[in-house]
Amino acid sequence: MENLILYGVVAVLLVFSMIRDRAKTKKALMKGLKAFEGILSQFLIVLMLVAIVLAVFDPATISRLLGAGSGFMGIMIASLVGAITLIPGFVAFPAAAELLRNGAGVTQIAAFVSSLMMVGLVTLPLEIRYFGKKAAIGRNTLAFVFSIVAALFVGWMVAR
Amino acid sequence: MTLRSLLKKYRAALVMVVLFVAFLFLFPSKAGRAEKSLLDQLKTMLLVMPPIFVLLGLLDVWVPREMLIRYMGKGSGLKGTALGIILGAVAAGPLYGAFPVAAVLMDKGASFMNVLVFIGAWSTLKIPMFLFEMQSLGARFAVARFLVDVPGIFLIAFILNKLLTAEDVEKIYSASHDAK
């Protein structure tokens, strides 16, 4: 159902775009295709890695490490992994969904997703080049703390 | 694209395919779970990704970035901040892609608060990403995260802005001018 809405909305936008400007629309489609192709390799790697990890760790293990019962420790593990890893959201979401289906807790997965998107340890040197040490380290620290707060909120909202 | 560059680009993925197949043969008892998991994820991807990436391309082509940037200066008030959010939300790509854009913003006189809000919006409010999150992790999950992220972005920007002295900000602006 949600997929249908998504396809519908994008189809309408696409038709509007076609009517307004054919050349621009073609450019848009090429850009989309290029963006997709750009992450494809990384995407396939992560999919296979997650598949192997999920095959090795059974749901019981995953739920012990990252399940709802793993509590604050699980949240910390998840947000640390999110802060360190550098994978695009497009790649991370299906993997996160797969972890959820296999016993991970909502709060823990939300912590992973939030810190993945807002904190970047690997890219910190780059950020420092643009924003200086104080601002870059400050932003990442604040974002890390916030991602835990956000995760608690998401966990609470989804459980309701 | 030549075959050689194609091979180079997908080398890591090909290595992973070999490892994956090896895994299936070495651990037949785990093979079923691995295959099922891979297929499930691929199905999500094939179903959801086409419209998302079409949207991404459309946003990229139709949103007039130059115009948005012009109205983000000091004294632009709420409008400038809203534009910062929009600029980040229609973006595509990982967070480190936002830094060069932020440098352009600062160079064109956007206020530091607006730049920080822009960075926050880029990191976590991107529209195509939000739709994708909704499809894969559920509407409740994605909407809840969105709801808490909006005030969070302002809070982080506000604290950071307070934490830095005028001198710090001055330094960042001149450094970003050189970094471009």
How would you write the pLDDT of chain A (160 residues) with one tens digit per residue?
Answer: 667 878 998 999 999 999 999 999 999 999 989 888 887 888 888 889 888 988 888 778 888 888 988 999 999 999 999 998 877 788 888 889 989 988 899 999 999 999 999 998 888 988 898 899 999 999 999 999 999 999 999 999 998 7
User: A29, A7, A88: which is closest to B59 by C-alpha?
Assistant: A29
* Calpha distance B101→B84 (Å, rounded): 11
Strand partners, B73: B110
Q: B129 vs A12, B90, B157, CA distance in Å?
A: 19, 10, 22
3-state class of A6 per DSSP? helix
ipTM, interface predicted TM-score of the complex: 0.83
* Calpha distance B64→B87 (Å, rounded): 9
* Interface-testing mutation among B145, B174, B177, with chain A (most A C-beta atoms within 10 A): B145
Residues of chain B with C-beta less than 8 angstroms from the C-beta of A111: none
Residue A156: other Cβ atoms inside 10 A = 14
Contact yes or no for A130 and B179 at CB 8 A: yes
Nearest chain A residue to B142, by CA: A154
* Calpha distance B144→A151 (Å, rounded): 9
Query: Does the structure show a pLDDT above 60 at B180?
Result: no
Contact yes or no for A135 and B51 at CB 8 A: no
* Calpha distance A63→A61 (Å, rounded): 5
Contact yes or no for B124 and A47 at CB 8 A: no
Q: Which of B47, B124, B160 sits opposite A138 (nearest CB)?
A: B160
3-state class of B31 per DSSP? helix
Residues of chain B with C-beta less than 8 angstroms from the C-beta of A29: 54, 57
In A52-78, which positions are buried (b, 16+ CB within 10 angstroms) versus exposed (e)? bbbbebeeeebbebbbeebeeebbebb
**Sequence letter at residue A10:** V
Q: Which two three-digit tokens encode residue B180?
A: 């471009």
- How deeply is A96 buried, as exposed, middle or buried, from its count of CB atoms within 10 A (0-12, 13-18, 19+)? buried
pTM: 0.82
